[in-house]
């Protein structure tokens, strides 16, 4: 895990992640990212689910979708 990725995540902690007693946002961000990476790698954790990855070019832009 890169330091830049951790630093960016630490800077972007959500309000509920900013625990008033948290003295190390970098360590907190590293733990959040490690958990996220583990969930993405462990597709066996939810065998009945489907994980779909799309690029931004594969999404529908506003106005192109149906209603």
Query: What is the per-residue pLDDT for 17?
Result: 75
Domain residue ranges of the chain, discontinuous segments joined by +: 1-11+24-41
Bigger pLDDT: 52 vs 30:
30
Segment 55-66 shows an average pLDDT of 70
The whole-chain average pLDDT of the chain stands at 75
Q: What is the pLDDT of residue 43?
A: 61
Angle at 25 between CA 35 and CA 10, to 5 degrees: 70
The pLDDT of residue 67 is 55
Over range 13-29, report the average pLDDT: 76
List the alpha helices (DSSP H) in 1-67: 3-11, 25-41
Stronger pLDDT, 39 or 32, i.e. the higher one = 32
What letter does residue 12 receive in the DSSP assignment?
T
């Amino acid at each position: 895990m890169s330091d830049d990725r951790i630093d960016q995540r630490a800077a972007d902690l959500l309000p509920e992640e900013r625990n008033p007693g948290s003295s190390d946002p970098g360590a907190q961000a590293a733990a959040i990212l490690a958990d996220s990476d583990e969930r993405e790698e462990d597709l066996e954790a939810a065998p009945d689910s489907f994980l779909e990855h799309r690029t931004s070019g594969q999404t529908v832009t506003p106005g192109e979708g149906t209603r």
